[in-house]
Amino acid sequence: MFQTQYVFRNPTKIARWAKGALWCLAVSEAFLAVVLGLQCRLLAKMQSSGFVSDDDMMAAATAGDLHVKVAALLVAVLAVLATILFLMWVYRTSMNVHALGAQDLFVTPGFAVGSYFIPFFNFYAPPVTMAEIWKASIDASRWREQKGTPFIALWWILQLIAGIGGIASNLAFPTGDDIAILEVFTLWQVAYSCACVLLHLTMIFLVGRISKAQVYQHAKIAVPSDVTAAT
């Protein structure tokens, strides 16, 4: 059987970078939720004819749109960065549990990352892989006997909500001038942004706990630099 050599590498540094990016993303999403909330107030004021003149209303609308666009752009940039760092962390921690001696895992480190990009497979493979990484990070040799955590289910439910919600936002974006519809849509975006904040806080928790567990296990068993494991 073809043998692959896995090397344990301390995940602390990549975990720190991933958590930092996720924290920045969560804060930017919270900021976006606040900006969208202010946009809702603006739309409500427009609907109730609360402006002194049309010029004042247009100036407020232009400023509000600019704030939303800047906040959304910040979120988009940080989301790309956080996703890259998170997937790097997934690869590192998956490689580590193999190096620590875990056998018969669902996927290899490369496929642990690749599973996020395979249609249909990416609906169930990532949480299964994350659950195995969690358990094997506690005790690689007896990973099946370890307890899981409800945070993985919470993470994946929120991830699906974020993914589906993002697609729905693009497809259902209102194009007319109906202020009432714009207000409802903006309120929905506020709720969506809050869900994304919770998602990334959950990811921060998982990254921190799994990384610490791997470092502790590696120090406890004093595993050699590299261990041969079957793919």
Distances (CA, A) of 12 to 96, 97, 136, 208, 223: 12, 14, 17, 9, 17
- At residue 182, the pLDDT reads 79
Q: How far apart are CA 197 and CA 213, in angstroms?
A: 25
- At residue 176, the pLDDT reads 58
Residue 229: which pLDDT band, with cuts at 50, 70 and 90? very low
Strands (E), the chain: 3-7, 226-230
What is the count of structural domains for the chain? Answer: 1
- Given a cut of 90, whether residue 188 has pLDDT beyond it is no
- Contacts (Cβ under 8 Å, ≥6 apart) of 26: 196, 197, 200, 201, 204
Q: Give rounded-to-5 percent helix, strand, coil for the chain.
A: 75, 5, 20
Report pLDDT digits (tens) over 13-29.
999 999 999 999 999 99
Report pLDDT digits (tens) over 90-133.
999 999 999 999 998 888 999 999 999 998 888 899 999 999 99
Distances (CA, A) of 155 to 72, 145, 183, 206: 22, 22, 29, 9
Radius of gyration of the chain (CA): 22
- Given a cut of 60, whether residue 226 has pLDDT beyond it is no
What is the domain extent for residue 152? 3-230
Least confident of 33-42, 141-150, 197-206: 33-42
